[in-house]
Copies of this chain bind each other. A is one copy, B any other.
């Protein structure tokens, strides 16, 4: 009865996608931004691990499938317009945690200083070793 009907409560965009913000529970840090389609969100809910839709590769992307940097989902929240998802996660795989493919903690590592963007967060692991 109403199996997965909560997926129908979401306002998917014209491409059938939903913007997703991943936030780390322990630190409160915003780790990354990505997209899900219906199948990705269903799999995320089923498995309890973040599964996104890769727009560049046009396929499901189980976050951490190559790097080991899996995201365990602790909570999912939908916004007022039902068209954006906030995923509260435990970021596994490395300590301190790494969400970004550059080997940094968060994808949001470039800070604006009034004139330009500057990388201000350290690389915690060599991406060449993360993606073998």
Q: Footprint of B on A, CB under 8 Å?
A: 2, 5-6, 9, 19, 21, 23, 27-30, 32-33, 45, 75-82, 84, 86, 100-102, 104, 107-112, 114-117
Given contacts A19-B33, A21-B21, A21-B33, are A76 and B6 in contact (CB under 8 A)? no
Residues of chain B contacted by A75 (CB below 8 angstroms): 111-112
Closest to A75 in B: B111
Q: How many copies of this chain does one complex carry?
A: 2
Asked if residues A112 and B45 are in contact (CB atoms below 8 Å), the reply is yes
Residues of chain B contacted by A76 (CB below 8 angstroms): 111-112
Residues of chain B contacted by A84 (CB below 8 angstroms): 33, 107-108
Interchain residue pairs A-B with the least CB separation, the first 4: A28-B28, A76-B112, A77-B108, A79-B107
Asked if residues B32 and A112 are in contact (CB atoms below 8 Å), the reply is no
Asked if residues B45 and A78 are in contact (CB atoms below 8 Å), the reply is no
Task: Compute how far the CA of A80 lies from the CA of B102 in the bound complex, rounded to whole angstroms.
Answer: 8
25 contacts across the A-B interface (CB closer than 8 A)? A2-B115, A5-B116, A6-B116, A9-B116, A9-B117, A19-B19, A19-B33, A21-B30, A28-B28, A28-B29, A30-B30, A45-B112, A45-B114, A75-B112, A76-B112, A77-B109, A77-B112, A79-B108, A79-B109, A80-B101, A80-B107, A80-B110, A82-B117, A84-B107, A86-B108
